[in-house]
């Protein structure tokens, strides 16, 4: 009788070029008002098509009622988009709520869907790339997250992030979730379009 696998599921991960920007539609952050969990989402009522790094955002906190608005900057006739990556959200530059110490580093994610996508990648032993690695989120993960030697440690860290996603109070905040300013600060992308949102 064979033993049950520790992490059931497909034994291969197929990377079709998923970009990190895909997970910026919903970002859990530390509230600037109370230090609890706040949510950054696209402002309601925006027209299609959606350009996730350029569309106006709203930060809302269910704990203290804090609300903030973000709009893309302008340069000439273009909008200057946000730059994803690092332990701050790309819009308000607030510390991400989903952060934990892992393997001597900081493991982070934007929301539960992002955590689940990372876990699906980390848990398998065979990874198949179907797209150019240039912009693929999985291809650009740090080596320590992809290492077979760190697999269980990273999966435990992702389970911690999944549990943090269910918590909202300031006292639930991870000790890793504080401002570090490690997000890229370059100018961002430009989007030329018929008009502002």
Residues 64-79: pLDDT tens digits? 999 999 998 888 878 8
pTM attached to this predicted model: 0.82
Cβ–Cβ under 8 Å, residues 110 and 89:
yes
pLDDT tens digits, one per residue of 90-144: 999 999 999 999 999 999 999 999 999 999 888 877 555 655 656 677 778 889 9
In this predicted structure, what is the pLDDT of residue 154? Answer: 95
Q: How many of the other CB atoms lie within 10 Å of CB of 96? A: 26
Q: What are phi and psi of 126, to 5 degrees?
A: -115, 120
* Section 175-193 average pLDDT: 61
What is each CA distance from 8 to 3, 5, 12, 124, in whole angstroms?
11, 6, 12, 9
The token pair at 35 is 């230090």
Mean per-residue pLDDT, 187-191: 52
Closest CA to 193 of 69, 50, 57, 70: 50
User: Three-state SS for 45?
Assistant: coil
| Residue 46, number of CB atoms within 10 A of its CB | 12
| CA 33/CA 169 separation, integer angstroms | 12
Rounded to the nearest 10 degrees, the angle between the axes of helix 112-123 and helix 151-164 is 160
Contacts of 123 (CB under 8 A, 6+ apart): 7, 9, 151, 155
**CB 23, CB 40: distance < 8 Å:** no
Higher pLDDT, 142 or 38: 38
Residue 89 binned pLDDT confidence (cut-offs 50, 70, 90) = very high
* Residue 160, C-beta contacts closer than 8 angstroms, at least 6 positions apart: 100, 102, 174
pLDDT score, position 171: 94
In this prediction, residue 83 carries a pLDDT of: 87
């Amino acid at each position: 009788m064979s033993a049950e696998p520790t992490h059931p599921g497909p034994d291969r991960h197929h990377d079709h070029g998923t970009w990190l920007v895909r997970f910026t539609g919903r970002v859990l952050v530390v509230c600037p008002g109370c230090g609890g969990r706040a949510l950054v989402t696209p402002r309601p009522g925006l027209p299609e098509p959606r350009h996730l790094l350029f569309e106006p955002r709203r930060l809302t906190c269910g704990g203290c009622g804090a609300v903030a608005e973000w709009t893309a900057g302008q340069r000439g006739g273009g909008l200057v988009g946000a730059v994803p990556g690092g332990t701050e959200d790309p819009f308000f530059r607030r510390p991400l709520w989903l952060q934990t110490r892992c393997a001597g580093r900081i493991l982070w994610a934007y929301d539960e869907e992002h955590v689940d996508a990372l876990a699906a990648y980390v848990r398998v032993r065979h990874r198949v790339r179907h797209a150019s690695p240039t912009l693929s989120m999985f291809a650009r993960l740090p080596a320590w997250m992809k290492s077979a030697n760190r697999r269980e440690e990273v999966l435990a860290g992702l389970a911690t992030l999944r549990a943090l996603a269910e918590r909202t109070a300031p006292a639930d905040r991870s000790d890793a979730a504080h401002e570090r300013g490690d997000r890229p600060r370059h100018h961002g992308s430009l989007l030329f379009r018929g008009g502002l949102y």
